[in-house]
Amino acid sequence: MNKPIDRVEGFSKLSQIEKRQHVADVLDNPNEVLELLAGFAHQNPEIQELLSEFSENTLTNFPLPYCISPNFKIDGKNYLVPMVIEESSVVAAASNAAKFWFDKGGFRTEIINTEKVGQVHFIWRDDLYKLHNNFDALKQQLIAGTMDITENMRNRGGGILDIVLKDFSHEEPGLMQLFATFETVDSMGANFINSCLERFASIFKDWYNQLDHPKDDGLEVVMCILSNLTPNCMVKCWVECDIADLDNYVPGTSGEDFARRFRTAVRIAQVDPFRATTHNKGIYNGIDAVVLASGNDFRAVEACGHAFASMSGQYRSLTDVQIDHGRFVFTLHLPLALGVVGGLTNLHPLVKLTNKLLGNPSAQQLMGIAAAAGLANNFGAVKSLVTTGIQRGHMKMHLFNIMKQLGVEKHEQAPIIEYFKDHVVSVSEVRKCLELIRDKAQA
């Protein structure tokens, strides 16, 4: 039984050892817990300190597998793609799909735009004409007043692109916003954008107070924050081949039949949000794994992609299939705001390795690589779904987890793997098989 948990003051000020002790003391096996937490800490104290400082109240590390998906050809260049993911079949599916498309030209990408977004939300309780008539002057002041913040970014080819007024007063009295767009080049740009927005707010308030007859409550800035919805930071990624090249890709299935069933599966995800959610989840299996390996923010990437998938008014598939003049074209379109500088990218040793392995890509190249991983996973999942079914591959990968869970010894693995080459995997079936092997061994 765990002990009751009391309100605690100053937890964040405790040392890491004290924090571990505090947590372990709540449990009925504190010594085991302390050993577990210590066991997952990095042996190199400098690396541990670095990892601990990425977050607050760190007790230890929570490792995830750092994997490689080989045989990705993207825009004519070959990659070993790093993926951080705990789901066993994702890397296998991505690798199989990448290998299949390797000889067919690989993945092609096109960056459609790289614009980021930030908003200053405010309530306007004065005459609207004052704002509209003087907005151009205000905009100049906002741009001039952030020159110190934007200097480095401008030197790298980025900066503020535009600032426009948006009016939401039909939804909420007086609600408006400064809607600003930015180019952040190789960084994701969150800190840069938020700093600009907070400066905008203070310039805006000063500007208002210098107008004729400002009111005490004429302008109320509610909040300043970037938007994770970046529909103009878009990547398109596609693969294509002759339909005849799909003949016997799944043994015994013609290319035409495979392409037709595949296209129907994607259509289902375009018309039915229930299927679209799972379909897009499969796309993010690949994307998130690359986003994590490259030290980017997968929550931001997912929030953006799912909002984008709903922009027609209904949540839909992010991929599409065209079958035309004997060609099969499979395309992923999605907004993806990634960085290769700033944040974790220059700090985490494995993120540095990812960038090195990928040939120190630009943010735009990384967008293409992540999109290719997403398209590869979607191709693998839909292919399995419309042919063998997903469980065969999944459960084969899962077999290793089940064997571990059931305490299968090393020498017992080979006959179990052999047996499940042509039997359906389930926990109960593996248990039965194991019991048989053990009975035989004792006999």
Measure Cα distances from 285 to 11, 108, 138 in Å.
35, 20, 44
Encoded one letter per residue, x for contact with ligand MEV by CB under 6 A and - for no contact, window 72-91 reads ---------------x----
Q: Which single residue brings its beta carbon nearest to ligand MEV? A: 282
Applying CB under 6 A, the span of 55-63, 182-190, 244-252, 273-281 interacting with ligand MEV comes to 273-281
Give CA–CA dist 57/29, Å, rounded: 21
Minimum CB–partner distance for residue 89 and ligand MEV (Å):
7
Minimum CB–partner distance for residue 285 and ligand MEV (Å):
5
Task: Return all residues near 425 (Cβ < 8 A) that are at least 6 apart.
Answer: 391, 395, 396, 398, 399, 402
Say whether 440 is catalytic.
Answer: no
Residues 355-384 that bind ligand MEV (CB under 6 A): 381-382
Catalytic residue among 75, 87, 126, 256: 87
Residue with Cβ nearer ligand MEV (90 or 190): 90
Binding residue (CB under 6 A) for ligand MEV from 82, 159, 255, 282: 282
CB < 8 Å & 24+ apart, contacts of 344-351:
344/54, 344/295, 344/296, 345/294, 345/295, 345/296, 347/50, 347/54, 347/295, 348/50, 348/51, 348/54, 348/295, 349/47, 349/50, 350/66, 350/293, 351/293, 351/294, 351/295
Applying CB under 6 A, the span of 77-85, 161-169, 216-224, 277-285 interacting with ligand MEV comes to 277-285
Say whether 281 is catalytic.
Answer: yes
Applying CB under 6 A, the span of 251-259, 280-288, 363-371, 413-421 interacting with ligand MEV comes to 280-288
Give CA–CA dist 329/333, Å, rounded: 13
| CB-CB contact of 338 with 187 (8 Å) | no
- Residue 216 corresponds to which amino acid? D
Encoded one letter per residue, x for contact with ligand MEV by CB under 6 A and - for no contact, window 383-402 reads --x----x------------
Give CA–CA dist 425/389, Å, rounded: 13
Binding residue (CB under 6 A) for ligand MEV from 281, 327, 333, 431: 281
Give CA–CA dist 142/132, Å, rounded: 15
Number of residues that bind ligand MEV (CB under 6 A): 10
Residue with Cβ nearer ligand MEV (365 or 377): 377
* Residue from 295, 294, 386, 373 nearest 334 by CA: 373
Residue with Cβ nearer ligand MEV (385 or 406): 385
* Residue from 105, 74, 96 nearest 382 by CA: 96
Applying CB under 6 A, the span of 52-60, 237-245, 248-256, 275-283 interacting with ligand MEV comes to 275-283
Say whether 429 is catalytic.
Answer: no
Say whether 103 is catalytic.
Answer: no
Contact flag: residue 302 with ligand MEV (CB under 6 A): no
Minimum CB–partner distance for residue 316 and ligand MEV (Å):
14
Helices (H), 25-73: 30-39, 45-53
In the complex, the residues that contact ligand MEV under the rule CB under 6 A are 87, 278-279, 281-282, 285, 381-382, 385, 390
Among all residues, which ones are annotated catalytic? Answer: 87, 281, 297, 394
